[in-house]
């Protein structure tokens, strides 16, 4: 693997680390099993608005011993919406975490204007020689609007060897050849409806947040109605209930939660 490269002078190292799970975190076996099943295909797309738990779901699965040593994670930001920083992060993550892409990264460093197809061809050659599978996670892909990045990622998907699986976490559906992948059964979709907390999951999360003793059927029903299965809404509800137990509120908990979410 490379020890130095030009990109390392401006890269943010924590963007290449699988996020820590926020506590308390509720394990959701049905979604974990679904995500694992998608890792057998070329692409898994987890697409939902903010606060639905996309990042935490992926982190919970991929932080396990089964996967963690072969996961290349990139947390994207608006600063990565150009070809050079985007592919520098992707190739660095694959190189540092999975030991592939050294030639591709060196080519990108030496000649930033090199056609990205040549760079990706070098990456594909490395990937095809791997004796094991690796997972590339692009978290926050919705911040990418540069057409050349979508085109290059589509090229990568077209020729992806079985050694690499791509996991996209996004607030919106990306402009990639998804219909073709779906027809070929080469991708798995996980959307907001699947990510919504069931009544049982909502009850379990609230029990973690406020304690089982305070988690009455009325409380669970109120939370379910207010949050509609939205993970962030349930957390806000639990936080508000916890605070309401220790200090007076100027309004009812129910109305406060409705305003908060």
Average pLDDT, the chain: 83
Decide if pLDDT at 42 tops 60.
yes
Q: Could you state, in order of their start, the residue ranges of all structural domains in the chain?
A: 6-195, 199-260
Average of per-residue pLDDT across 226-236 = 70
Alpha helices in 139-230 (DSSP H): 147-158, 178-183, 192-195, 199-210, 217-227
> Which residues, in sequence order, are bridge partners of residue 169?
46, 139
In this prediction, what percent of the chain has a pLDDT beyond 70? 77
User: Which CATH class, in words, describes the domain spanning 6-195?
Assistant: alpha beta
Decide if pLDDT at 113 tops 70.
no
Spatial contact of 134 and 164, defined as CB atoms under 8 Å apart:
yes
| Those residues with Cβ within 8 angstroms of residue 211's Cβ, 6 or more apart along the chain or in another chain | none
Question: What pLDDT is stored for residue 2 in this prediction?
Answer: 41
Spatial contact of 135 and 39, defined as CB atoms under 8 Å apart:
yes
Decide if pLDDT at 4 tops 60.
no
- Tell me the pLDDT tens digit for each residue of 49-97: 998 989 999 999 999 877 877 999 999 999 999 999 999 999 999 999 9
């Amino acid at each position: 693997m490379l020890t130095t490269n030009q990109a390392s002078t401006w890269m943010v190292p924590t963007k290449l680390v699988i996020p820590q799970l926020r506590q308390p975190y509720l394990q959701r076996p049905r979604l974990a099993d679904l995500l694992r099943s998608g890792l057998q295909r070329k692409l898994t797309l987890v697409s939902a608005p903010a606060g639905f738990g996309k990042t935490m779901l992926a982190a919970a699965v991929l932080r396990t011993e089964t996967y963690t040593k072969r996961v290349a994670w990139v947390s994207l930001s608006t600063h990565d919406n150009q070809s050079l920083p985007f592919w520098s992060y992707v190739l660095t993550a694959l190189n540092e975490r999975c030991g592939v892409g050294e030639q591709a990264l060196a080519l990108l460093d030496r000649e930033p204007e090199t056609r990205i197809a040549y760079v990706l061809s070098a990456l594909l050659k490395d990937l095809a020689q791997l004796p094991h599978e690796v997972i590339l996670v692009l978290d926050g892909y919705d911040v990418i609007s540069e057409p050349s990045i979508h085109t290059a990622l589509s090229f990568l998907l077209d020729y992806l060897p079985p050694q690499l699986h791509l996991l996209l976490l996004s607030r919106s559906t990306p402009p990639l050849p998804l219909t073709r992948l779906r027809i070929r059964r080469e991708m798995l979709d996980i959307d907001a409806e699947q990510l919504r907390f069931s009544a049982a999951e909502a009850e379990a999360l609230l029990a973690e947040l406020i304690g089982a003793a305070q988690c009455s059927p009325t409380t669970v029903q109120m939370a379910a109605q207010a949050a509609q299965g939205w993970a962030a809404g349930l957390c806000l509800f639990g936080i508000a209930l916890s605070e309401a137990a220790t200090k007076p509120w100027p309004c009812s908990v129910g109305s406060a939660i409705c305003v908060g979410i």
